[in-house]
Amino acid sequence: MFRPFAPLFASLGLAFALPACAQPAPAVQPQDADPALWVVRDKDTTIYLFGTIHVLKPGLSWFDEAVKKAFDRSGTLVLEMVEPDQETQQRVVVSKAFDPAGPTLLEKLPAEKRPAFEKALEDNKLSRASFERMQPWFAAISLSVLPVQKLGYQALNGPEGILTAAAEAQKKQVMGLETFEGQMSIFDSLSQRAQVQLLTSTVEELPKAGETMERMVSDWSRGNPEGLAATMNESLKESPEVAKALLVDRNAKWAAWIAERMRTPGRVFIAVGAGHLAGPDSVQAQLGKYKLKAVRVKY
């Protein structure tokens, strides 16, 4: 079974999947976190690779030591996506995430899976009408964010926002490897069968979302990419189509981008979902095709 989407998306850095909550975070005692950092370099170009967890609870102290030093030395911050304005987001969501005609979402589900889906809506006080025209993949996202948000995970505490603010303060260039529309299109291009499987599996695994998220954040905080890879593989092994779309193809594109960027002198800090920097199909592994090696920064 797929694990709930929220932990998976958090490790892949799909920002739109986990919107920020407006409530201020409570004050907590900071806890040290030392997430993994890699560097690719030649005689005149240095590119850092930093894996993020898009949503975090408040209180983790990670933007220090080697991570802060590498960021401060870099002239450009590269994220998976630079978040567009609300109007653009709404336009793209309406065009990609909803099906205005044809069968309703409930009708797309196998008959034996419908009661569990309806119960998930009821348990979370969500109206059936609001989901009726959603694409199955977007319904899975919408359901899966609820457990982790209830546990206090917010994008406001995630690395992307903190890094972006720091880059703006230091007048660094900020750019994205993808666009919001491009990320949405990844899901829109999945087969109907894969989308339905993601939704039904997410519904079944919702009670374990918090447990999965805590394990991934723990591995991230301890700089344990192998642990993250294990969870990623467990989450994606049931659907090669989804694994290819969300992970393998994107990693290959980003490795090609890095190889091209190595031709231009300078220092770049790349921050992408930690799941992309773990496992056999990681960005680091893909860089081998270009005779480039990412070295782990020890700190």
pLDDT value of residue 257:
98
Contacts 24+ apart (CB under 8 A), 67-71: 67/35, 67/37, 70/37, 70/39, 70/269, 70/297, 71/163, 71/166, 71/269
Range of the domain at 180: 5-20+31-296
For the chain, what is the largest distance between any 2 Cα atoms, rounded to a whole number of angstroms?
A: 61
26 located within any domain: no
Residue pLDDT, tens place only, 12-30: 766 444 444 444 445 566 7
Q: How many CB atoms lie within 10 A of CB 162?
A: 17
Q: Tokens at residue 216, please?
A: 């991934």
Average confidence (pLDDT) over 218-230: 93
201 located within any domain: yes
Residue pLDDT, tens place only, 42-93: 999 999 999 999 889 999 999 999 999 999 999 999 999 998 998 999 999 9
36 located within any domain: yes
Q: Which residues contact 126 (CB under 8 A, 6 or more apart)?
A: 120, 142, 143
25 located within any domain: no
Which comes out higher in pLDDT, residue 10 or 170?
Answer: 170
Which residues does residue 41 pair with via DSSP β-bridges, in sequence order?
46
Report whether 235 contacts 8 (CB < 8 A). yes
Residue among 181, 176, 145, 208 nearest 273 (CA)? 176
pLDDT value of residue 5:
60
For residue 260, name the pLDDT band (cuts at 50, 70, 90).
very high
Q: How far, CA to CA in Å, does 50 sit from each of 31, 47, 100, 132?
A: 19, 10, 40, 39
Amino acid residing at 227: G
Into how many domains does the chain fold? Answer: 1
123 located within any domain: yes
Please check the confidence at residue 4 and state whether its pLDDT lies above 80: no
State how far Cα 221 lies from the chain centre: 16
Q: Tokens at residue 114, please?
A: 């419908």
**Cα 50 to Cα 271: distance, rounded to the nearest angstrom:** 5
Average confidence (pLDDT) over 263-276: 96
